[in-house]
């Protein structure tokens, strides 16, 4: 059976997204059909629409989702119909060179559904990050579905599927923020604020939030920032150094995805400090740094793909932190919107009005 459902499609570069009828097949071997309950609007969806990720239009957008498994294909054992799940964009294959070396969080061949979802005329859709969840139903590899506790409502739980996990993991997994560290986070959208929350849970002694928008800096304080810097009013490198005894932060997390903020992060570190890049740049961006500074400052320059998470390990941990009151998932939800308001939500994101708009299905 083929399911005719509504989905949000980016048909061509830079054009407004549209709600279209899409065709979703029943799950084949290893696949799961998920009825989406909620899906957050992440900056990466906008990158897709802008052609910044690839040219494989048309895209079926949406990738921060929670829902209920409706059907599973042959051989699926990890989930069953009726299970409440968060969908992950990493499902380690267990067979690639990275999985075989015991580093499945870098899996180079993450699992996705094999059957395509299509437009009504049969044109195959490219689901964003192998998910495509601004849709009433989506088809994924069953291994992408991580069963979680129903105590977290879908509009909050879904955000774990991308932005919150990416930011939290950038601090805790990639940056290895530990008790007593000083941390600076540049860019305090959904991802940056999740990094702040992660640093807070990990026991950082000072957490400096940097943004160009005071509304984001106010939010950052709620997630555990001890200090804030508006980069339009103060030089962030000088401010971070000043707030860390003249030294710079032990860990800096760049959550904007621009050369100038990367460079600020590079210089705002203490000697032997770590810079974690979680913001996603676009193909034309370049950076130039003196090689001697790279050598002389030492430490580590890392990028964080999805917070180096293992979804089956990390999603339930974040839900438990939420239940303990240590991770305010609802604090990331600025508004809930219907499926036809995604384009508007992109503009609100660009104007800095929201941390997350979350599509909630009727
Ligand atoms: N690495 C990953 O796995 C991963 C996962 C999800 C998202 N991302 C990326 O992370 C980035 C942030 O995503 P988001 O959803 O939080 O986006 P967002 O648009 O909500 O947040 C970006 C923030 O950066 C701020 N900003 C812009 N220019 C700045 C500057 N010059 N200095 C300081 N702050 C500045 C904005 O005011 C905003 O608050 C995006 O590039 C997104 O694609 C990466
Ligand atoms: Zn693998
Ligand atoms: Zn995302």
Q: What is the largest CA-CA distance in the chain?
A: 64
Q: What pLDDT is recorded for position 354?
A: 95
Q: What pLDDT is recorded for position 362?
A: 79
> Looking at residues 324-347, what average pLDDT do you find?
97
Answer for the pair 134, 37: CB distance below 8 angstroms, yes or no: no
- The answer, yes or no, to whether residue 213 has pLDDT greater than 90, is yes
Query: Residue 34 forms beta bridges with which residues?
Result: 69, 138
Q: How do the domains of the chain map onto residue ranges?
A: 2-161+328-360, 168-304
> Which numbered ligand comes closest to the C-alpha of 236?
1
Average pLDDT, the chain: 97
CA 156 – ligand 1 centroid, Å: 19
Pairing of strands 356-360, 333-337: parallel
Residue nearest to atom 6 of ligand 1 (CA): 163
| 278 Cβ below 6 A of ligand 1 | yes
Q: What pLDDT is recorded for position 161?
A: 98
Exposed / middle / buried, residue 120 (Cβ in 10 Å: 0-12, 13-18, 19+)? exposed
At the fourth CATH level, the homologous superfamily of domain 168-304 is: NAD(P)-binding Rossmann-like Domain (3.40.50.720)
CA 311 – ligand 1 centroid, Å: 21
- Using a pLDDT cut of 90, give the percent of the chain over it: 99
Ligand 1 atom nearest to CA at 257: 41
Q: What pLDDT is recorded for position 43?
A: 93
The DSSP line for 193-224 is HHHHHHHHHHT-SEEEEEES-HHHHHHHHHTT
**74's tokens:** 């042959």
> Looking at residues 54-71, what average pLDDT do you find?
97
| 167 Cβ below 6 A of ligand 1 | no
Distance between CA atoms of residues 251 and 286, nearest Å: 23
> Looking at residues 21-35, what average pLDDT do you find?
98
| 340 Cβ below 6 A of ligand 1 | no
pLDDT tens track for 224-247: 999 999 999 999 999 999 999 999
User: In this structure, which topology does domain 2-161+328-360 adopt according to CATH?
Assistant: Quinone Oxidoreductase; Chain A, domain 1 (3.90.180)
Exposed / middle / buried, residue 341 (Cβ in 10 Å: 0-12, 13-18, 19+)? middle
Helices 214-222 and 190-202, interaxial angle, to 10°?
30
Q: Give the number of other Cβ atoms within 10 Å of residue 29's Cβ.
A: 12
> Looking at residues 212-221, what average pLDDT do you find?
97
> Looking at residues 332-347, what average pLDDT do you find?
98
Residue nearest to atom 39 of ligand 1 (CA): 189
CA 297 – ligand 3 centroid, Å: 31
Q: What pLDDT is recorded for position 206?
A: 98
**53's tokens:** 């990720």
| 357 Cβ below 6 A of ligand 1 | no
């Amino acid at each position: 059976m083929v399911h005719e459902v509504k989905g949000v499609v980016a048909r061509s570069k830079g054009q407004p997204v549209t709600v279209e009828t899409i065709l979703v097949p029943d799950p084949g071997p290893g696949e799961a059909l998920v009825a989406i309950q909620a899906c957050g609007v992440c900056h990466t969806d906008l990158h897709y629409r802008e052609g910044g990720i690839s040219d494989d239009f048309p895209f079926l957008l949406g990738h921060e989702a929670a829902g209920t498994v409706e059907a599973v294909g042959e051989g699926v054992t990890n989930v069953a119909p009726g299970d409440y799940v968060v969908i992950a964009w990493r499902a380690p294959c267990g067979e690639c060179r990275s999985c075989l070396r015991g580093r499945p969080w870098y899996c180079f061949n993450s699992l996705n559904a094999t059957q395509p979802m299509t437009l009504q005329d049969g044109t195959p859709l490219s689901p964003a990050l192998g998910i495509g969840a601004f849709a009433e139903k989506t088809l994924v590899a069953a291994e992408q579905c991580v069963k979680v506790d129903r105590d977290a409502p879908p509009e909050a739980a879904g955000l774990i599927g991308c932005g919150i996990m990416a930011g939290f993991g950038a601090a805790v997994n990639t940056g290895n923020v530990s008790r007593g560290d000083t941390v600076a986070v540049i860019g305090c959208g959904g991802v940056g604020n999740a990094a702040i929350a992660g640093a807070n849970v990990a026991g950082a002694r000072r957490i400096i939030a940097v943004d160009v928008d005071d509304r984001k800096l106010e939010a950052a304080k709620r997630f555990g920032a001890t200090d804030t810097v508006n980069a339009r009013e103060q030089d962030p490198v000088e401010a971070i150094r000043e707030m860390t005894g003249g030294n710079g932060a032990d860990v800096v997390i760049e959550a904007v995805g621009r050369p100038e903020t990367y460079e600020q992060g590079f210089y705002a570190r203490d000697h032997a400090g770590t810079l974690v890049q979680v913001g996603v740049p676009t193909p034309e961006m370049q950076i130039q740094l003196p090689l001697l500074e790279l050598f002389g400052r030492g430490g580590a320059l890392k990028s964080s793909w999805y917070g180096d998470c293992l979804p089956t390990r990390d999603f339930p941990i974040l839900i438990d932190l939420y239940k303990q009151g240590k991770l305010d998932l609802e604090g990331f939800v600025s508004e809930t919107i219907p499926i036809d308001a995604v384009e508007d939500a992109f503009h609100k994101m660009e104007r800095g009005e929201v941390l997350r708009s979350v599509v909630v299905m009727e």
